[in-house]
């Protein structure tokens, strides 16, 4: 298994580097989150052994069943990102499990995470991303851009959060190029918001298996890749 995932990682890194070179970017500034939804802990461990240093999970409950088993024995265990929706009643468990929550999608949730982080991680700023619904898609969570412009400052004032940037979920489109408007919209939203307040970090989490190369061309700093690493899920 590790040999297979070594080759997978090499192919992905080659594709990332090629996309970065096309737009004059440094590929080392791009983080790959290996999204392990429904993937057994043993196979996730294989990905870590192959060199994937960040693991993403969509659900708190699934992460609870895997984090300890995956991390055991590694001198430097992987970082864990929550990349799926977070219910307020699971915030305490999420902050305890994950190194980063990418899916803060309301000011109420931001306040809740801030309060829990103050209790569980005193003296630290807990890293989060703000999820933006730049496509105005009613089926997706996230701040509408206009709402985020209004609510950004009070979120940045929260003393126990470090807002590292923005995240979006792309549209299901027939080809990767059709996803470009979504990624461009998130980058431009980030630029507008950061011009007003540099406390917002520059991270852009966007791009998945089918469209991550286009996302890189539009400025992605975090890629959430699952199927290209672990294969199709049942």
Q: Which residues of the chain have pLDDT under 70?
A: 1-2, 234
pLDDT at residue number 47: 97
pLDDT at residue number 217: 98
Structural tokens at position 159: 């003393």
pLDDT at residue number 68: 97
Mapped onto helix, strand or coil, the DSSP state of residue 102 is strand
Q: What is the DSSP letter of 175?
A: S
pLDDT at residue number 234: 63
Given a contact cutoff of 8 angstroms between Cβ atoms, the answer to whether 16 and 220 are in contact is no
pLDDT at residue number 171: 80
pLDDT at residue number 76: 96
Structural tokens at position 119: 């209790």
Please state, in angstroms and as integers, the Cα–Cα distance from residue 164 to each residue in 128, 143, 169, 193, 200, following that order. 6, 16, 17, 12, 6
pLDDT at residue number 113: 98
Cα atoms in the 13 Å half-sphere on the side-chain side of 7 = 3
pLDDT at residue number 233: 73
* Helix residue ranges per DSSP H, the chain: 2-22, 41-49, 60-64, 67-71, 91-97, 107-120, 145-156, 180-196, 212-217, 227-230
Whole-angstrom Cα Rg for the chain: 17
Name which CATH class applies to 2-230: alpha beta
Query: Of 206, 172, 210, whose CA–CA distance to 188 is shortest?
Result: 206
Summarize pLDDT for 79-99 with one digit per residue, the tens. Answer: 999 999 999 999 999 999 999
Whether the pTM exceeds 0.85: the reply is yes
């Amino acid at each position: 298994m590790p040999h297979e995932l070594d080759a997978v990682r090499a192919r992905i890194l080659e594709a990332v580097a090629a996309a970065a070179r096309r737009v004059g970017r440094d590929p080392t500034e791009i983080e790959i989150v290996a999204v392990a939804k429904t993937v057994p802990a043993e196979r996730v461990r294989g990905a870590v052994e192959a060199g994937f240093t960040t693991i993403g999970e969509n659900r708190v409950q699934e992460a609870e069943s895997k984090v300890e088993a995956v991390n055991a024995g590694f001198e430097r265990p992987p970082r864990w990102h929550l990349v799926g929706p977070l219910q307020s009643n699971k915030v305490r468990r999420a902050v305890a499990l994950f190194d980063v929550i990418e899916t803060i999608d309301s000011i109420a949730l931001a306040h809740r995470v801030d309060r829990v982080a103050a209790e569980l991680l005193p003296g630290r700023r807990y890293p989060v991303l703000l999820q933006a619904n730049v496509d105005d898609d009613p089926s997706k969570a996230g701040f509408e851009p206009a709402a985020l412009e209004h609510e950004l400052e009070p979120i940045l004032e929260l003393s126990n959060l470090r807002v590292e940037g923005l995240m979006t979920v792309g549209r299901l489109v027939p080809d990767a190029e059709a996803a470009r408007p979504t990624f461009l919209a998130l980058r431009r939203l980030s630029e507008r918001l950061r011009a007003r307040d540099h406390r917002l970090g520059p991270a852009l989490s966007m791009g998945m298996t089918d469209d991550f190369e286009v996302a890189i061309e539009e400025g992605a700093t975090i890629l959430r890749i699952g199927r290209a690493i672990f294969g199709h899920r049942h």
